[in-house]
Chain A
Amino acid sequence: MSTPSVTITVDGAPIEVNPERMLLPELLDKGFSIPHFCYQESLGSDGNCRMCMVEIAGKKRPQIACDTPIVTGMEIRTRGESIEKVRRDILELELINHPVDCPICDQAGECSLQDYYMEYGLYQGKVDKKEKHPFDKHIDLGANVMHDQERCVLCQRCVRFCRDVTHTDELCVAGRGDRSYITTVPGEKLHNNYAMNIVDLCPVGALTSKDFRFQQRVWFLATSPSVCHGCAKGCAIDIDHAKSKYHDDTIYRFRPRKNPEINGEFICDAGRLSYKETQTNLLKTCHIRKETLPEAEALDRWRAILTEDEYPIVVLADANLYTEELAALQAFARTLHARLYAPLEAYHDPAFGDDWLKSPQRAANSEGVKRLGIATEMPTINDNTLVINVNHPDGHRTANRIDLLTHQPDEDTGRVPARLTLPIAPWVQSSGHLINEDGIKQYCEQVLRRNDPIPTLIERLKQVTDEEYDKHFDNRETAS
């Protein structure tokens, strides 16, 4: 069925629009810029902020576009002196009690209020700063969300998210008139696993993330599209990172990236905070048992062990690896006449799963593993088997082992030290595809370009499969 369409006139030019939607979403989709606070794509219209006024021919007063149905032939004006005056007046009301603290506000640079003021406001304020009604400035709402009541424009996106999306209803508007404020019931906190999405939804600096606030100015951040590796759901994310003076390329936050097929425009809090794991406790040096050794010596060792010939070889692959890396491991295993496994049982975490965006399967590319035909059970490993453990969480049981790890091994778990341990790059320093549990394939860009890069898995494999070593393995094939 095709979308119905009617013709309306906007700013003097005819356009085709879908009459089943309200005016504002259609105009925004068609590229018109209309200021708005309370309307939000996932939450719909609320009609409380009055910011999205447009002029409609035949109507005495400007109307809010978010709650105006489309009628064939209607004539809309989104620009012009009179509509801009209306917007300026509404902004003036919004800003009566708003503090002038943009220089210390984390929202600065991505704040609708600030943008609209620059576009439509720019009036001489009539309210003396001393007359502004002060509200509380740092209220810990729980779940890493900090609330600054002074900065709030009462669009209620956060209230509606907790009511309509998570159905947890923690927030309300208390009081009335210019003394209204957003709050939880006294003594209670936000208690849902998606609460930090209200920080993204907030069009101003009233809700900020405890984790991100005061860490970095948003205009210094570069954004790389990627995919969350927290579970098999594969929520689309944007990764904000910066290489600031005297610092190496560092990730500051994950934000949901719109993908209607998977996560809409939200992610869970656990996924959002998992950026920390991509840059803390990384393994950077090579080890023999527990002794560190220089990279060059470790490489000789890496080649030597593989050419020793005497072992049956098992490769254990992390199911978080990109499809390209898994395919490279498959080729590597073939060259070595090794068997490749990616045991999935270790990633099963029923306590993590829910019925929305959190999957109990914590491996980001479990579907990629299955599609490549890689065995997913844990093989029986004998003492004389050489295990090449590529970052698998359960791969450290036997001593005759080479570890390729992204993170420093946790010594407390009774782990047997490996014959040789080599660092490989974590996923944010590499690139490739992931296939989520619903079979949707997505690409992850390489996010970080560090001054001290760690070899990616594919680079590591190349170190031992260059021509000379290929020849060695070819000979072995002929011999066997």
Chain B
Amino acid sequence: MSFTWTRAHRAELDALKTRYTSPKALVLPALWKVQEQEGFLPLEGIEAVAELTGYSKAEVYGVATFYTMFRLQPQGRYTLQVCKTLSCALNGQGTILDHLKERLGIEVGETTPDGRFTLTQVECLGSCGTAPVMQVNDTLHEHLTPESVDTLLNTLMDKGGSL
């Protein structure tokens, strides 16, 4: 597998570069671009970031493993991020999570065999007023109930074929 920046990402990073005195400042934005492109951080992407920033590959790997939102393994098409912080926990996050596990047949951190869904738990998504919540890729879903979760899963499956 090889990694090449998309032209748009390359241009964005070049523009960002002019803002800082050192290209090392680009390590986080560049890792984000890799993840956006590939869905996770392949080693080839880490190498490309090292080359861009002047850090060693090992240093970039250290950064990538430090932040929990960077993923080092391929993810499903939809990453379900269930909030596990206080408000959601009090408002039935456990029921939602159990329901998802049962529907998808996977545990937290796993991906369905068809590569469609990855189930994760995250800290506060900043929407305590509408708990319990879950973020699917970049979209927030609020006031979850087992029924609304079913509807959501069905919609997502329709978009990409059957489960």
Contact = CB atoms under 8 A, between A and B. Distances in A.
Given A169-B59, A172-B59, A185 B43 contact: yes
Nearest to A162: B58
Interface string A152-186: 00000000001100000111111110000001111
B62 interface: yes
A171 B62 CA distance: 9
A169 B57 contact: yes
A169 B43 contact: no
B42 to A, nearest CB: 11
Contacts of A163: 56
B148 interface: no
A405 to B, nearest CB: 46
Given A185-B43, A185-B46, A187-B43, A176 B66 contact: yes
B18 to A, nearest CB: 27
Interface in B50-89: 56-59, 61-62, 65-66
B57 A185 contact: yes
Contacts of A187: 43
A174 B65 contact: yes
Nearest to B62: A172
A174 B61 contact: yes
Given A185-B46, A187-B43, A175 B56 contact: no
Nearest to B61: A185
A184 B46 CA distance: 13
Size class of A's contact patch? 10 to 19
Contacts of B61: 172, 174, 183, 185-186
B123 to A, nearest CB: 14
B58 A170 contact: yes
A373 to B, nearest CB: 50
Contacts of A175: 65-66
Nearest to B57: A185
Contacts of A173: 62
Q: Is the interface of B mostly helix, strand, loop or mixed?
A: helix
Contacts of B66: 174-176
Contacts of B46: 185
A81 to B, nearest CB: 37
A171 B65 contact: no
A162 B57 CA distance: 13
A309 to B, nearest CB: 69
A345 to B, nearest CB: 40
Nearest to B65: A174
A91 to B, nearest CB: 25
A185 B65 contact: no
A162 B59 CA distance: 12
A152 to B, nearest CB: 14
Residue with the highest number of chain A CB atoms closer than 10 Å, among B57, B58, B61, B66: B58
Interface in A170-219: 170-176, 183-188
Nearest to B72: A186
A175 B70 CA distance: 11
Nearest to B46: A185
A366 to B, nearest CB: 37
Residue with the highest number of chain B CB atoms closer than 10 Å, among A172, A187, A188: A172
A450 B53 CA distance: 57
B120 to A, nearest CB: 16
Contacts of A186: 43, 61
Nearest to B58: A172
Residue with the highest number of chain B CB atoms closer than 10 Å, among A174, A175, A176, A184: A174
Contacts of A174: 61-62, 65-66
A339 to B, nearest CB: 55
A174 B58 CA distance: 9
B62 A169 contact: no
Contacts of B56: 163, 169, 172
Contacts of B59: 169, 172
Interface string B79-115: 0000000000000000000000000000000000000
A141 to B, nearest CB: 12
B44 to A, nearest CB: 11
A174 B63 CA distance: 7
Contacts of A162: 58
Contacts of B57: 169, 185, 188
A170 B56 CA distance: 8
Nearest to B55: A169
A147 B88 CA distance: 41
Nearest to A159: B58
A156 B4 CA distance: 33
Nearest to A181: B65
Given A172-B56, A185-B61, 9 more contacts: A163-B56, A170-B58, A171-B58, A172-B61, A173-B62, A174-B61, A176-B65, A185-B46, A185-B58
15 contacts: A169-B56, A169-B57, A169-B58, A169-B59, A170-B58, A171-B58, A172-B59, A172-B61, A174-B61, A174-B65, A175-B65, A183-B61, A184-B58, A185-B43, A185-B58
